[in-house]
Chains A and B, each alone.
Chain A
Amino acid sequence: MPEPISITLNGRTVAAQPGELLIEAAEHAGVFIPRFCYHPRMEPVGVCRMCLVEVDSPRGATLQPACFVRVSDGMAVITDSDKAKKAQDGVLEFLLANHPLDCPVCDKGGECPLQDQTLAHGSGETRFVEEKRHYIKPVAIGPLVLLDRERCIQCSRCTRFAAEVAGDAQIDFAGRGDLIEVAPSPTQPFDSVFSGNTVQICPVGALTATPYRFRARPWDLEQVESTCTACAVGCRIAVQSSENRLTRVLGLDSDAVNHGWLCDKGRFTLDAVDGNPESTDPLDPRTRLTAPLVRRDGQLVATSWGDALARAAALLRAPGPDGVGAIGGASLTNEAAYAWYQVVRDVLGSPHRDAQFGDGLDATLVQALPPATIEDAARARVVVTLAGDLREELPVLFLRLRAGLAAGRSSLIELATGPSALRSLARVVVPVAPGDAAEVVGILTDGARPSSADTTALADARALLGDGDGVVVVLGRANLLESPAIVERAALRLAARYPAARFLVALRRGNVRGALDMGLAPSWRPGRVHDAHDGGRDTLAQLAAMRQGTQGAVLLLGADVLGNVLDTAGAAEALAAAAVVAVAGHGSPTLAHADVVLPALVQHERNGTVTNLEGRVSAVVAKVGAPGSAWSDVTIAAELAVALGSALDYDTVESAAAAIERSTGYPALSVLSDGRLEGVLAASGEVSMRHVLDPIAFPGVRSTDEVGLASFAGATVAATATPEARGHIVPSLAEVAVPAREAPPVDAYAWRVLLGRRLYDHGAALAASPALAGLRAPLTLGLNPMDADRLGVGEGDEVLVRGVSRATPLAVRLDEGLPRHVVSLDGATGTIEGDEVIADVYDEGATVAQVRLETR
């Protein structure tokens, strides 16, 4: 930190940081200056003029916007003079002149910065007798956002968010003067995956969210601070409910993670928690499971916990330790994952467990790569992406990276297999065809040896990488139809060549990292302890063993197997051949094969901790009570252990958390106990910093009586010792075993297939969310426009996609982000037709899937 300077604030001498905005310096000194357009996570624009204060200058004191002026040493500022007050009152009066003042029927009423600051600073009397501006009532500017133009105060927060933060100006001001209004384009709705943020930061009720509109009034809301588990970023959220019904999720501002932003999936899939109260079909993802089920005469029927647990214990015990295994865990809390680890490994004696579905990365590689935090990646000199489209996979990570790139702090090298929303900000784009990543990285890292495959892009990338210092590699699975060995080998090559580089492993599922840390992966024990001798079958191996009859029983830990593996037919065959005990909160097609279903609590109903992709542990907190007789996973595990004849030494989340800390040193209870926002970066020992609750910046997350005084809640937990310091064995990269895979020979007629992930996929969360289900992309065949030209097809034309044993007609979608000679199956997973195409072309042993195309 640079030397502080001093300024005179209302006659008082206070310290400030050089270059700091006056509005912030004043706030740190305890002086709140009213504001509307200013937002601490965006560039100041100084347009609303609410923050005018008197600043001394050579020409005498002048009114200046405190949100735009930066402090300088010796600056004299008066925020409460008659002149400053009159200017501020004047602005407020102007803002209210045309405002409809419909607070009683406004969604924002009760948590509205305009209302609050009017109460705090306004005069109360209106001198405006003219006709107000009138607009047709709310217009839907996108599928999730409504705009009420009468209430808009033209602060430009929403338009700036779209352009500056999300990088996609789908909305902009139109018109001029007092007719200026927020508008989408006439041809493209505001369907950004970040649209909900504009609703949250709107300082009035001009933007409202369709799913939340009129759902509740702020003063009825109770809230807890929690963590979003829709993906592995782990954004900090406030979860709100009214009368034991979930009503809303808002982003909280955490320096380390999400800066207050959320994606629309995290924000709006809330309605999937309760599902459809009408639905009782256990195969339907909209069914909330509320009672234990057992299969009788081919039907799943409700039963007592005692009966269900006894049946489950019998089924799991029968095949013996090597004949049973567990699949899943990424949707659990760490405490639940730990308890289930103990049931499987210690009680049942089985080494077979896996929280991934063959669509992730080798757990040993994940743990052994030198780790980077999100903040590291956002501030890296060079970011390398060897991953899918981050905006679709880990949206808020995309925002964090984008900010660094747009500000010119970082340079981006994309090792690009498919389209990417970061592309326009990339310094170097190296096209990588499916199956070729390891080879391309090989040429990159072997730069000394000239190769005909060397390109200027690779040379540029090499120059930018230097010796690897300040480099963060974001590593994920760009292509689910490609063997993970390809990208794993590529990562090993990068790590070997650039020892200084660090890796942010972009696994996607909510708590997959926590599940791995709790030992739900072959060769891993809780607390990130590597045990190479333990072995065990991963998910795909377990399914194969079930098909072959060597594994007779499986325990599904919140795992919708059929919704997650690529070979759905093979998985169905495997599940049909084995005894299946499923622990689940919602229905799913997988339960067609379940023999026992144990109903568990899901997000917002349970307490515990989760670990995000960077290894940061934070708390999830229950906001609503359990439905029916569902239990927490920890309780279910403890009771099942009893039924299996050997009790665990805990039976609540709190005691499980204590057990984790006691036996592994992994932070759990310390995070939980405060029930607040702390997090600990267990990976590198770094500790999270402050999080900020600013009701003007992020309205709705705090009651109105504390308006304006930002609080810095959430003291940090002391840094726990790093795993090394605790004596844990961190595997060396040499221990990472990656099977050899050859890229298939180039064949002029074969098209390599790319299957990336979409945020709005056809998975269970979306299927059960009325707000978002309609936004899922239909199944299409992505083609580079040049390839399409060559084939003589255009957008929407049908092409026959010929796989191994079937040919499927698919509509073409032109996609400039795709490399040449590659097709993508966009929106495929989870659709019936898409699953069939995928199952047809997917071969676990193959490097990459291929198809042939026929045009008519």
Chain B
Amino acid sequence: MTHFRSDIRQRAEELVSLYPRRRSAMLPLLHLAQEQDGYLTDAGMAEVAQLTGTTPAEVRGTAAFYDMFHLEPVGRYVVGVCTNIACLLAGGEELLEHARRSLDCEVGGTTADGLFTLEETECLADCNVAPAVQVNHRYVHTTTPDQLDQLLEDLRAGRRDHDIPPHGTLIRVRRSGGLRVGATELAEERREAREAREAREAAAKEAS
């Protein structure tokens, strides 16, 4: 019995197989766990620990380093408003304050209906459309209070479901090609090539 749904579990195992060492799949797997549960549950982290050969403490410790991972439940939509330098100069703090009042929700908190979580973000690398706003890590290009309110309304009404999936779903494009050509085979070849190379080098060293 796994905590991951069977389709998620299958994708998780595919992810692990992409890397030379399974711990490398940690971040993608944690994203996947959030895709299933919306945030990182204890059971989800335990399964990631098992898949990556780490301890639950290491999974939690690693996850807690990164802003995108949530150890507590968050809203269906995580709204991030940037207030870093370029956005600050374009009114980022004022837009964040507007969002706070519109949503009636503290920064870092979640609305009573569980729909929205509001965050103050660092630079979102969209400084030419400042202040930058993301919802579930999708750029929404809403730089004015009015645009932001419209967006919130659209989200509530489900009018953005096509381009803004629920929080946690990061990459909707599945890897296809890599698995088909056999990452494991390549890894095997790589290993052989490396061993041959090392043998050569050792021989060369021996000779000199």
Contact = CB atoms under 8 A, between A and B. Distances in A.
Interface of A: 163, 168-176, 183-188
A185 B64 contact: no
* Max chain B C-beta neighbours (<10 A), residue from A168, A171, A173, A175: A173
A172 B54 CA distance: 11
B57 A171 contact: yes
B59 interface: yes
Q: Which size bracket describes the interface of B in this complex?
A: 10 to 19
B57 A188 contact: yes
- Residues of A contacting B: mostly: loop
B73 to A, nearest CB: 14
Contacts of B150: none
A175 B65 CA distance: 5
13 contacts: A169-B57, A169-B58, A172-B61, A174-B60, A176-B64, A176-B66, A183-B57, A185-B55, A185-B57, A185-B60, A186-B42, A186-B45, A188-B57
A174 to B, nearest CB: 4
B29 to A, nearest CB: 16
B56 A187 contact: yes
Contacts of B54: 169
A763 B57 CA distance: 31
Given A169-B54, A169-B55, A185-B55, A176 B60 contact: no
B46 interface: yes
Contact of A174 (B42, B46, B55, B61): B61
* Minimum-distance CB pairs A-B, first 9: A172-B61, A185-B56, A174-B64, A185-B57, A172-B57, A174-B61, A169-B55, A169-B58, A176-B65
Interface string B33-65: 000000000100110010000111111111011
Given A174-B65, A183-B61, A186-B56, 18 more contacts: A169-B55, A169-B58, A172-B57, A172-B58, A172-B61, A172-B62, A173-B61, A174-B64, A176-B65, A183-B64, A184-B57, A185-B55, A185-B56, A186-B45, A187-B42, A187-B46, A188-B56, A188-B57
Contacts of A173: 61, 65
Nearest to A172: B61
Interface centre among B46, B58, B59 (most CB of A within 10 A): B58
Q: Count chain B CB atoms within 10 A of each CB in A163, A171, A172 and give the residue with the most.
A: A172
B60 A183 contact: yes
Contacts of B59: 185
Nearest to B46: A187
A424 to B, nearest CB: 9
B206 to A, nearest CB: 20
Contacts of A185: 45, 49, 55-57, 59-60
Contacts of A163: 58
Nearest to B40: A186
Interface string B8-22: 000000000000000
Nearest to A163: B58
Among the interface residues B42, B60, B66, which one has the most CB atoms of the partner chain A within 10 A? B60
Nearest to B56: A185
Contacts of B66: 176
Contacts of A176: 64-66
A186 B42 CA distance: 7
Contacts of A170: 55, 57
A174 B57 CA distance: 9
A85 to B, nearest CB: 33
A803 B49 CA distance: 39
A324 B55 CA distance: 55
A301 to B, nearest CB: 54
A172 to B, nearest CB: 3
A171 to B, nearest CB: 6
A679 B55 CA distance: 39
Contacts of B49: 185
Contacts of B62: 172
Nearest to A174: B64
A174 B54 CA distance: 15
B208 to A, nearest CB: 22
Contacts of A183: 57, 60-61, 64
A173 B55 CA distance: 13
Contacts of A188: 55-57
Contacts of A168: 55
Nearest to B54: A169
Interface string B47-89: 0010000111111111011100000000000000000000000
A185 B45 CA distance: 9
Nearest to A159: B61
B51 to A, nearest CB: 15
Nearest to B55: A169
Nearest to B62: A172
Contacts of A169: 54-55, 57-58
B154 to A, nearest CB: 33
Contact of B64 (A171, A175, A184, A187): A175
A75 to B, nearest CB: 27
A141 to B, nearest CB: 10
A792 to B, nearest CB: 14
B131 to A, nearest CB: 24
Contacts of B60: 172, 174, 183, 185-186
Nearest to A188: B56
Contacts of A172: 55, 57-58, 60-62
Nearest to A794: B1
A175 B62 CA distance: 8
A172 B57 CA distance: 6
A187 B47 CA distance: 12
A171 B55 CA distance: 9
Nearest to A190: B57
A163 B61 CA distance: 13
Contacts of B65: 173-176
Contacts of A174: 60-61, 64-65
Contacts of A171: 57
A508 B59 CA distance: 36
A209 B55 CA distance: 23
A185 B49 CA distance: 11
A171 B57 CA distance: 6
B23 to A, nearest CB: 12
A188 B64 CA distance: 17
Nearest to A186: B42
B22 to A, nearest CB: 13
Contacts of A184: 57
A190 to B, nearest CB: 8
A169 B66 CA distance: 19
Contacts of A175: 64-65
B30 to A, nearest CB: 13
Contacts of A187: 42, 45-46, 56
A185 B42 CA distance: 9
A730 B7 CA distance: 67
B40 to A, nearest CB: 10
B84 to A, nearest CB: 16
A175 B71 CA distance: 11
A185 B60 CA distance: 6
A170 B60 CA distance: 11
Nearest to A184: B57
A188 B57 CA distance: 8
B75 to A, nearest CB: 22
- Residue of B49, B57, B61 with most partner-chain A CB within 10 A: B57
A152 to B, nearest CB: 14
A176 B65 CA distance: 5
Interface in B70-118: none
B124 to A, nearest CB: 18
Contacts of B45: 185-187
A182 to B, nearest CB: 9
Contacts of B57: 169-172, 183-185, 188
A173 B65 CA distance: 9
A540 to B, nearest CB: 43
Nearest to A141: B57
B196 to A, nearest CB: 21
A495 B66 CA distance: 55
